[in-house]
Amino acid sequence: MRLTFLGTGTSFGVPVIGCSCANCTSTDPRDRRTRHGALLHLAGGNLLIDTPPELRLQLLAARIDRVDAVWYTHLHADHVHGIDDVRIFSTRGRGAVPTYIPEEMKPQMTVRFPYIFSDRIAVPRGTTKPRLDLTGYQEGMAATVLGARITPFRVPHGPTDAFGLRVGRLGYVTDAKRLPAAAREILAGVEVLVLNALWWGSPHPTHFNVEEAIEAARDIGARRTFLTHLTHKVGYRELAAALPPGIEPAYDGLTVELD
Ligand SMILES: [Zn+2]
Ligand SMILES: [Zn+2]
Ligand SMILES: [Zn+2]
């Protein structure tokens, strides 16, 4: 199994429009962070985690030419609004793309994108729309996706929740403010862990700051932990140097091999 980080930035992305801070003007490519997305190369195909606004550019940059299924963590705009870029995968004769979404978020998804999900909106002859076949998932109930067993778990994310996932020895958590006991139980024994983090200090109501992510990483005890969903307040080089051993910042395009 291989994990490719497609986008490792927070909702504003890095650089932030109109910002001239050291990280926004950095020439290090690892300081250019698009919105959150990742790809899991599973035995049965490619599973896309979230459809961020830069999806097309991310897939081109990572030279990924097929997506066989999509997994949504939650429905914030920075995780969903590149959904139209899935269209290319459902127009190449493979049919609707199997798409996994928290069961409780299905109604909101169909309301937000009626042109995709409402049968009452017809596609004009000669044109196409993305076709995604939604399957709801629930905390703790493992789903078999592209031959892999995926166990989702709920994480508090301010007024809403997001869902992390465990696949084999990988634990993947974005947009969490806390890891509840049930999540920690499912994550026990992972070899590689991904956690969200924004910046050092100044606790945020809906996300881990770096200190909170370090604490969670130590508690889970994975051999390698990667931080994603980072803001322009942390530069790759400085953050990498300051993190404890075994914890490192992810960056767009980074790939990690797992057994
Ligand atoms: Zn900046
Ligand atoms: Zn979010
Ligand atoms: Zn987010």
With beta carbons less than 8 A apart as the criterion, state whether 128 and 87 touch: yes
**Which ligand is closest to the CA of 75, given by its number?**
2
With beta carbons less than 8 A apart as the criterion, state whether 8 and 252 touch: yes
Total Cβ atoms within 10 A of residue 125: 5
Higher pLDDT, 123 or 48: 48
State pLDDT tens for residues 52-73. 999 999 999 999 999 999 999 9
pLDDT confidence of residue 92: 85
Does position 93 have pLDDT exceeding 80, yes or no? no
Q: What pTM was computed for the model? A: 0.97
Report which of 156, 151, 153, 147 is spatially closest to residue 169, judged by C-alpha positions: 151
Residues surrounding ion ligand 3 at CB below 5 Å? 78, 175
76 CA from centroid of ligand 2 (Å) = 5
CA 64 to chain centre: 16
Range of the domain at 196: 2-257
Q: What angle do CA 173, 5, 32 make, to 5 degrees?
A: 110
pLDDT confidence of residue 144: 97
Percent pLDDT > 70 in the chain is 100
pLDDT confidence of residue 89: 95
**For residue 14, what is the domain's CATH number?**
3.60.15.10
pLDDT confidence of residue 145: 98
Does position 94 have pLDDT exceeding 90, yes or no? no
Say which amino acid occupies 175. D
Say which amino acid occupies 257. E
Give mean pLDDT, residues 22-28.
98
The total number of structural domains that make up the chain: 1
**Which ligand is closest to the CA of 36, given by its number?**
3
pLDDT confidence of residue 259: 79
What's the mean pLDDT when you consider all of the chain? 97
135 CA from centroid of ligand 1 (Å) = 38
